[in-house]
Structure 1
Amino acid sequence: MLSFRTHVAAVTGMDDFDEEAVLAKIHLVEDDILVLSGSLVDGSGTPSSDFDFCVLARSKDERFHRDTFPRDQHMRYYTSGDRVKASFDYLPHSLLGVDVEYWTVQEVFAMLAAHDQLYAQMRTRARKSSGFAASAVDFRVLSRLTYAVPLTNATEFEELAARVRPGEIAYTAFRAAVGSYPDFRDLAGMWAQGDHEAALIAARKLGVDTFRGLTHVHGNTNRNPKYLGRFLARSPLPTELTSRFRALNAYGTGAAGDPAAAVLEWLDLIDLAFAEIRTGREKAEAFVGRTEFLDLLRNELHESMTWNAEISNEYCFRAREAEPGLPSLRELLSAMTARDAAAHHLPIREWAKGRAAPAGENNKSA
């Protein structure tokens, strides 16, 4: 009998389950590649987690069509047009669910090719990107393939998995996650208004995004923020840093009447996260290194930006993921509140010399 129990990580409070009852919801055929992944495999699961299976079929068959899919055997199933993409149901008398995605091998290879293009694009920009939304990449699937366990046709799965490059997936996840300057600018505007409660909400978002990026620097390919604290705990980071983040994110500072102090505490913590990002990214082969990243910043310059305090502050914020020795976020916040430019060593004027205004998209100079 096909068995997967040994691949499920121990979860406190997890209900017992019948493997046959789980497998009956998959609708497997002989030449399918069946893989198990998800939080119950990577160790971040809870008693209400799903068994996350992925069926990689050789070609589309009746399981892929709305009219022939055994709908009555599932509480929910997901479609895109006529195409059935996933099914979901609960086990009787259990919090556990069974989630099955249906793909063909050809579709996964096409997704990997699309990610190659997305990764190449991400390497050409220094700003936070939302490129996932416009790509043909299902990031959950790619992430799961980096740690999935093949339960059938393991040799064929290994051939497919050899095409998956986890470091590159981690980099595209990082580029879409790490805290952005527009968020910091919003925070500064709220701070200047004296609306410290709203600034605290913005600071928390900036912090969560930056710590998400930090996990990607250390190889995490999962973009889901639900288990961010658990992903951080597995990373080779100072325990003091990760514990401080978890406490601040979950419980706050303990000083409910002083949101301004909480904002500043978040900014100090984000500075420490950026310091770890600078250290970690130099060791991550798929990541753009310091020199190349600064070149990207240079290439995004606009000649009219040279004498603009706002643009100077933007580059001061953005460069910190690769460049040490920049003003702290507290100092940057103070300068922006005073409508001034923070003093830093970035050669903004020299970078912009001889450059024309952007011609085309993404603020790239001609």
Structure 2
Amino acid sequence: MDDFDQEAVLAKVHLVESDILMVSGSLVDGSGTPSSDFDFSVIAQSKDERFHRDTFPRESHMRYYTSGDRVKASFDYLPHSLLGVDVEYWTVQEISDLLAAHSQLYGHMKTRARKSSSFAASAVDFRLLSRLTYGVPLTNAAGFEKITAEIRPGEIAYTAFRTAVGSYPDFRDLAGMWAQGDHESALIAARKLGVDTFRGLTHAYGNTNRNPKYLARFLTRLPDSLSGLTGRFRQLNAYGPGSTADAADTILEWLDLIDLAFAAIRRVRDEADAFVGREEFLGLLRSELHRTMSWNAEISNEYCFRAREATDDVPSLRSMLSAMVRREAVEHTLPLHAWASGRAAPAGENNKSA
């Protein structure tokens, strides 16, 4: 990292004595590089004129960002340095509201057995939530401890997990591309599904950061017993197939890695703090089924795909792919009709409930 003048950094922050100044980001979580910025959050006791659009010292900043009449963030490069200073401005009440919104979201996610839609996660600033779990207070440590006392890192990890894992439509698209012989598109789809699943694996081990940019670094922090699996993922994700002729085999290799990642998730999720356990997750799947559904191969395949994050008793993704190309249901032993017996059609989901 370049040398820097501490006073030059603080000049970009506009502190008063009662503020909480938190430093976070990649320089704190261990994933930083020589080009990483300083990531600060100023948490004021209440809104004041320092961060009002009309009174903010805009001439002192390279750029700044507003929401309504409030300045929410600023960015600058330090003089005679390549270092950047990225500052976000919050109030104690805004942090409290954010934590309350996440608590509601977590409660909602515990009732769902599929990958979260964007509408459910949009009300929560996951980046700030993650930073609050590991950020370091540089001022007003007592105030920081007070506002973060209600943070539940395990719950944040679980909501992040549900934004990563369980998208049958993604696998279904991959299968359709494969059936058409479009290996280029299928390879891109397989890689995305792999990145999502391995990101989910890091969340099962407590990672709260959803940014895939540093996924390879987060994977190196998992137990040594997973190093072979995560090493194969990192190699394939970063460098891909050797040539276009290898595309089909690489897609199948991705499916094998995803199956192994799901097996690792199953082994840890019952002990993961705040995660929905395996039996409880299967119960959520059962609650979606009802006797009057239009039963067909797709329903069977969808539940076979989604159940693999909680049960070993499912066929491989390779087997699923072969069956779907034949437009058939893959053979499995999940008692879907028994699960649906006696159940009426559920009420529709409220997309705004989170």
1:137 partnered with 2:137:
no
2-structure distance, mates of 1:337, 1:136: 38
CA distance in structure 1 between the aligned counterparts of 2:156 and 2:209, rounded to whole angstroms = 9
Match of 1:53 in 2: 40
Work out the CA distance in 2 between the residues paired with 1:132 and 1:156.
32
Report the identity percentage.
78
**Equivalent-residue separation in structure 1 for 2:291 and 2:4 (angstroms):** 64
1:337 aligns with 2:325: yes
Within 5 Å, give how 1:18-167 maps onto structure 2: 18-130=5-117, 135-167=122-154
Between the two proteins, the alignment pairs up a number of residues equal to 350
Which residue of 1 is the match for residue 219 of structure 2? Answer: 232
Aligned to 1:267: 255
Question: Would you say 1:200 and 2:187 are equivalent positions?
Answer: yes
Aligned to 1:320: 308
- Residue 199 of structure 1 aligns to a residue whose secondary structure is helix
In 2: Cα distance, 1:289 partner to 1:322 partner: 8
1:215 to 166, 184, 202: 202
Conserved 8 A contact 2:62-2:76:
yes
Per the TM alignment, residue 139 of structure 1 is displaced from its structure 2 partner at its CA by 1.0
Shift of 1:304: 4.2
CA distance in structure 2 between the partners assigned to 1:178 and 1:213 by the alignment: 6
Q: What is the TM-score when the length of structure 1 is the normalising length?
A: 0.93
Larger relative contact order, structure 1 or 2 (CA cutoff 8 Å, min sep 6) = 2
Q: 1:132 to 1:281 in 2, by over 3 A?
A: farther
User: In structure 2, how many angstroms separate the alpha carbons of the residues matched to 1:261 and 1:199?
Assistant: 11
Given residue 282 of structure 1, which amino acid in structure 2 is its aligned partner?
D
Contact 1:143 1:169 in 2 (8 A): yes
Aligned partner of 2:291 in structure 1 is 303
In the alignment, the residues of structure 1 paired with residue 121 and residue 50 of structure 2 have an alpha-carbon distance, to the nearest angstrom, of: 28
Runs of 5+ in structure 2 lacking a partner? none
Mark the CA change 1:291 to 1:362 in structure 2 (over 3 Å): closer, same or farther. farther
Please tell me the residue identity of whatever aligns with 2:143. Answer: E
Correspondence for 1:9: none
Aligned position for 1:351: 339
AA at the equivalent of 2:253: E
- Give 3-state SS (helix, strand or coil) of 1:285's partner: coil
Amino acid of the structure 1 residue aligned with 2:19: D
Residues 23 and 137 of structure 2 are in contact (CA less than 8 Å); yes or no, is this contact kept in structure 1? yes
Equivalent residues of 2:204, 2:265 under 8 A apart: yes
User: Which residue number in structure 2 is paired with residue 173 of structure 1?
Assistant: 160
Read off the aligned partner of 1:31 and give its amino acid letter.
S
Whole-Å separation in 2 of the counterparts to 1:134 and 1:231: 22
Deviation, structure 1 residue 286: 0.3
Residue 348 of structure 2 is matched in structure 1 by 360
Q: CA deviation at 1:73?
A: 1.0
Partner of 1:252: 240
- Structure-2 change in CA distance of 1:198 and 1:321 (3 Å): same
**Cα distance in 1, alignment partners of residues 332 and 350 from structure 2:** 25
Alpha-carbon separation, structure 1, partners of 2:21 and 2:164: 30
| Offset, 1:131 | 5.0
Contact 2:292 2:344 in 1 (8 A): no
- Contact 1:179–1:207 (Cα < 8 Å) also in 2: no
Q: In structure 2, give the amino acid aligned to 1:112.
A: L
Task: For 1:222, give the aligned amino acid.
Answer: N
With normalisation by structure 2, the TM-score equals 0.96
**Equivalent-residue separation in structure 2 for 1:169 and 1:286 (angstroms):** 9
Q: Distance in 1 between matches of 2:214 and 2:329?
A: 37
